Structure 1
Amino acid sequence: MKKDVVIIVLLVLIMLFKLLDIVADFQLDIPAWHIAQEGVLVLLTVIATVYLSHDLMRRSRQVKILAQRLAKADKQIDNMTSQMRSARQEYSQAVSSQFATWGFTKSEQQVAFLLLKGLSFKEIAEVRQTKEKTVRQQASSIYSKADVDGRHTFCAWFMEDFIQEHNQDVATKAPANEAA
């Protein structure tokens, strides 16, 4: 924007100097065609100055509006981030509560959380600094206590409510002929 202001100031200065030149030309009896030529240049400079000034003001208003929208979006993101943190904590507490209900040991709870995060047995063993065989045994114990047949069913158990809610939303929005 500073560049635009500089250009407008320069155009105004050119216009003023040209006007002074036209006044001087009148006093010196310069031919009319030369004065007309300089008059056209002054007119074009006026038009360019008005156009650029108008465009600069329009863009300034747009920038202010965008800045306000950006500030509003930032606030919404901050709110969503805190809501997501809160939801993550609630979900984590619900998962921990379910682990306690199933009677998982502390080690099994750690492995179960890492399974839910999608880590492989090898990765879990590295993170926990244990052998992969130990992690596999703990996973088998986890699946048995949770009464599921494997990792996918175990993970799906925690997603089922979310998926059912989504499926109900999809089912209520589906046309009648697709539901049949």
Structure 2
Amino acid sequence: MKDRIIILVLITIMVLNAMDVFVDINLNVPLWHVLGETIIVIVSAFAALLLIHDLRSRSRSLNRLATKLKDANLQIQSLSGEMESERKHYGQVIQAQFNDWNLTLGEQQVAILILKGLSLKEIASVRETKEATVRQQASSLYQKSNLHGRHELSAWFLEDFLN
């Protein structure tokens, strides 16, 4: 908006000074005065044209950016759908592995919460059970899976992503 006002002011200056130049020529005003006002007309016209060009260039650039942003949003939505599908598939893979290890429902719940990074105390709180029960279930799941703790459990499920 500010640029458009400046363009309007420059065009107004140009038009008024051009009219003044024509009047001064008809009144036989000294040449140096006519030349000075002519320079003002030319400079204001040049400045207005530069500003118009810059405004159009920025407008085209903003339109290109808007198009790129729209395309990026579409890609993000597409990826979000794919990620959701892969997340569900990964959950199924985890569940299948729990079944292969013959984990009880409680051990599966503990394993999921360990994979999410919760401490045994936090797991006990979430599951509304005693910490000793959670410790026993964690110990049992490590024994059934032949793993030696939360780090190996997490690494077991992340290993395929790192290759």
Match of residue 67 from structure 1: 66
1:26 equivalent in structure 2: 25
- Residue-by-residue CA offset, 1:45-89 (whole Å, 9 max, x unaligned): 011011111111111111111111111111111111111111111
Question: How does 1:114-129 map onto structure 2 within 5 Å?
Answer: 114-129=113-128
1:104 matched to which residue of 2? Answer: 103
- Aligned pairs for 1:68-83 (under 5 A) are 68-83=67-82
User: Once the 2 structures are TM-superposed, how far is the Cα of residue 123 of structure 1 from its aligned partner?
Assistant: 1.3
Q: Report 1 or 2 for greater relative contact order, CA contacts < 8 Å, sequence distance ≥ 6.
A: 2
Q: Distance in 2 between matches of 1:48 and 1:4?
A: 11
CA distance in 2, matches of 1:26, 1:16: 15
Q: Between the two proteins, what is the percent identity of the paired residues?
A: 47
Deviates more, 1:122-131 or 1:89-98: 122-131
Gaps of 5+ in 1: 166-180
TM-score (norm 2): 0.94
Q: Distance in 2 between matches of 1:154 and 1:133?
A: 20
Q: Distance in 1 between matches of 2:129 and 2:6?
A: 70
Partners in 1 of 2:129 and 2:106 — Cα distance? 11
Q: What residue in structure 2 maps to residue 158 of structure 1?
A: 157
Paired position in structure 1 for 2:93:
94
Residue 3 in 1 paired to residue 6 in 2?
Answer: no
Task: Kindly state the Cα deviation for residue 129 of structure 1 after the two structures are TM-superposed.
Answer: 1.6
Which residues of structure 2 form unaligned runs of 5+?
Answer: none
1:52 corresponds to 2:80: no
Q: TM-score, normalised by structure 1?
A: 0.85
| 2: CA distance, partners of 1:43 / 1:110 | 80
Paired residue type of 1:76: Q
CA distance in structure 2 between the partners assigned to 1:153 and 1:9 by the alignment: 71
Q: Partner of 1:148: helix, strand, or coil?
A: coil
Amino acid aligned to 2:134: V
- Tell me which residue corresponds to 2:34: 35
> What's the offset of the Cα at 1:159?
1.6
1:109 Cα deviation after fit: 1.1
Aligned twin of 2:12? 13
Task: Calculate the aligned-residue CA RMSD, in Å.
Answer: 1.3
**Amino acid in structure 1 at the alignment position of 2:60:** R
Q: Which amino acid aligns with 1:90?
A: H
